[in-house]
Amino acid sequence: MTTQPRNERLEDALVRDPEISEQLLRWYDQTARDLPWRKSSDPYAIWVSEIMLQQTRVETVRPYYTRFLERFPDVFALASAEEEDVLSLWSGLGYYSRARNLRRGAGVVAETHDGRFPRSRSEALAIPGIGPYTSAAILSIAYELPFAVVDGNVARVLARVCRLDVPLQRKASFLEAQAEALLSKERPGDHNQAMMELGATVCVPRDPRCDLCPIGEHCQAHVDGVVDAYPSPPPRKETVALELVLFLVVDRAVGATERLLLERGNWPLIRHLWIPPIVESAGGPPDSSDAGQQGWANAWNRWTRHRAKGLEVGGWSHLGSIRHSITHHRIRFQVVEGTLQSAPSDLWATRDDLTVATERAREELGRSSLLTKALALRDRVKGRKQLEFPI
């Protein structure tokens, strides 16, 4: 293949050489790692493995995958399982919403598709927890349907093969089109797995092992000797400073077990995690007008107004502040503790974005580093004089 000229209109510059797929598949046939989920063409088993592998290392997933399939061998077994049982088998794997969605998804497949994973992309995408990547992976590997996957590994390989001169995040549609253009129509499942394998084992983020690469002669970055420059780094965003108040609202109503109020989905930067309630600090950094019981009560009222009217909290105590970074946001949280005094009687039963959770339940909901920091601060100041204010 001749080197593709770099083109201002990247969408017109798709590499379409079928030799790339042929060489990739030959390499995959000879070197593919022996992984338990590769022994199966059962869409359910492939689905389980793809969900477990999201943001989790292969070696971590292996024992969980085997145990999970022994306990829930098919869609019907998972669909009829108690959520608690599914979560306990998932315990330690993290990102517990994956397990909840998998169980919900099994319910949909059991009820709507007679237990058979659908072959249509749109029906697959309608299943809870299944997005473009997962649907392409399952449909191609289980049914040999021609959908190309683009995960982080594949995107990196393509960026190097095509010398893509813009950050990957800006070129999702180009990457999808490029992945489709290279896809083997005879063995799309193996082709997808080979691309992912190449990114995971050879075309790694730092110091790719180009001497072992089966498609090195087609890789523009390698041929031009500029591999280190790809993928292009994302543009640096300007740092944004935020001042927020974080509420550790304690519910001691049930026996001696302390429960903490947590919410999910309200804060745009941390939508997927269960975290304590947060509001913006009135007028930026806290000042004397924010201090004291009335100041914290006012801040709490701002939260309840939007999130849950009728949640009465008192006995506010300012514990100090913590710093936390999320993407380009540098956030200072004033951490205040209060005691839950009353809540509408039907609140916990009617809201799936609010809960009061014991320490054990919090583990199952997934650990947020923000909550861990706030609780560590509380542990430090417990029994000690409240930190000076303002900080």
Active site residue 82: no
Strand partners, 250: 260, 339
- What is the residue type of 329? H
Write down the least CB distance from residue 202 to ligand SF4, Å.
5
Site for ligand SF4 in 103-162 (CB under 6 A): 157, 160-161
Is 157 or 335 the residue whose CB approaches ligand SF4 more closely?
A: 157
Site for ligand SF4 in 189-248 (CB under 6 A): 202-203, 208, 210, 213, 215-216, 219, 221-222, 227
Is 79 or 213 the residue whose CB approaches ligand SF4 more closely?
A: 213
Is 153 or 321 the residue whose CB approaches ligand SF4 more closely?
A: 153
Smallest CA-to-CA distance from 95 within 60, 57, 69, 56 is with: 56
Catalytic residue, chosen from 8, 50, 59, 176, is 50
Place of tokens 């004291």: 292
Place of tokens 């995958």: 65
Q: Rounded to 10 degrees, what is the CA torsion of 304, 306, 310, 311?
A: -40
Q: H/E element holding 362?
A: helix 359-365
Angle in degrees, CA 31, 37, 39, rounded to 5? 70
Q: Residues touching ligand SF4: how many (CB under 6 A)?
A: 14
Write down the least CB distance from residue 219 to ligand SF4, Å.
3
Dihedral of CA 295/296/302/305: which sign? Answer: negative
CB neighbour class for 12 (10 Å; exposed up to 12, middle 13-18, buried from 19): exposed
Which residues of the chain form contacts with ligand SF4 (CB under 6 A)? 157, 160-161, 202-203, 208, 210, 213, 215-216, 219, 221-222, 227
Q: Give the active site residues.
A: 50
